[in-house]
Chains A and B, each alone.
Chain A
Amino acid sequence: MAESVSLEPGLKGVVADWSSDQRAFKNVPWGKAMMWIFLLSDTFIFSCFLVAYMTVRMSTTVQWPNASEVFGLSVGGVEVPLLLIAIMTFILISSSGTMAMAVKFGYEKNKNVTFWLLIVTALFGASFVGMQAFEWTKLIVEEGIRPWTNPMGAAQFGGAFFMITGFHGTHVSIGVIFLVIVAIKVRRGDLDKERPGFMTGRKGRYEIVEIMGLYWHFVDLVWVFIFAFFYLW
């Protein structure tokens, strides 16, 4: 793009970009800008969940269940607090690492490495969902936690937990499906041959790996907040 040589930096650049013709986001492909807008709206959705959780937790007169104990695991007879959640956190961070590298190798047009990094990312994601399923099963079957009641304390605990982690888990699951789709596109050379996708006339480009990456890093980002506010607080 010829315009990129004459772009102004800093605050003057913000004014110049926004007041220019055609497009405000210079050097940002259309699909990437749209993914950012979607993630912004998703930010508001997750924020509403977390703020709702804050409100019910503040307003209940009943003791809030101790997450450290509820999500603890016993390993060889020793109770380790939050063990499963810590493992899930490290897995999701690792998947973010492999995803970031997939984007890098994608732009280098290294098909093979990009494909395998995407697959590894998807496997990390799938194992995260698997552990979440294990956690839900344990809580529902063994601990008797329901969205409307639980034996440990404030009734709102179950509702907040299932809503927040359920919505996040859905995001991870959708992400895994899309990772596999993008990986297949990379593998069979759709992006090298600029073959358009299933529902679009736009040419396939390695941008879609970065756009996929934005979504995946966002899922990790949301987990950072859930981990802090729901599990640790």
Chain B
Amino acid sequence: MNMAQEGQQHPISIYFWIWGLLFVLSTLSYMVDYMEFQGYLRWTLIIVFMLLKAGLIVSVFMHMMWERLAIVYAILVPPLVILVLILLMSLEGDYTFGTRLDFFSDWTQFFTGSEH
């Protein structure tokens, strides 16, 4: 099929399928909160459902799975550098948290029990 003239044409059933899947995945991620999962289980499930939803939207609704690799790579690879920013800022956030504990809170007094 010549995509350039016909544009992106796919059977309507695939859109209904993805629509349904997105509903299921959204319900599941809502259930994570409703069931009050905590800690690593909660964070893992949130990330997994989020990435599955994002993948379905980009690949089917935004037609990325039918595009040529040249544009797929040009669009999807650059955002990966954000992972570096996340790493840097989590180190920075952690450091700021430690500094605030050291200088702006009285947790040392809390442990020794002395009033001020």
13 A–B pairs (Cβ distance < 8 Å), ordered by A: A4-B2, A11-B69, A14-B68, A54-B86, A58-B93, A59-B96, A81-B33, A100-B19, A100-B60, A217-B61, A221-B54, A228-B47, A228-B50
Asked if B78 is at the interface (CB within 8 A of a chain A CB), the reply is yes
Interface of B: prevailing SS: helix
A10: Cβ under 8 A from any B Cβ: yes
Complex: A34 Cα to B34 Cα, angstroms = 41
CA of A89 to CA of B12, assembled, Å: 22
Q: A56-B93, A57-B93 provided; 5 other pairs, C-beta below 8 A?
A: A51-B89, A58-B93, A58-B97, A86-B30, A93-B22
B53-78 contact mask (Cβ, 8 Å, vs A): 1 or 0: 11001101111000111110111001
B116 interface residue (CB < 8 Å to A): no
A224 touches B53 (CB 8 A): yes
Interface positions of B from 62 to 115, Cβ below 8 Å from A: 62-63, 67-71, 73-75, 78-79, 82, 85-86, 89-90, 92-94, 96-97, 100-101, 104-105
Chain A residues contacting B19 (CB-CB under 8 Å) are 93-94, 96-97, 100
**Is A107 among interface residues, defined by CB-CB distance under 8 A?**
yes
Q: Does A224 contact B54, Cβ atoms closer than 8 Å? A: yes
Q: How many of chain A's residues touch chain B, expressed as a range?
A: 35 or more
Residues of B within 8 A of A (CB): 2-10, 12, 15-16, 18-19, 22-23, 26, 29-30, 32-34, 36, 42-43, 46-47, 49-50, 53-54, 57-58, 60-63, 67-71, 73-75, 78-79, 82, 85-86, 89-90, 92-94, 96-97, 100-101, 104-105
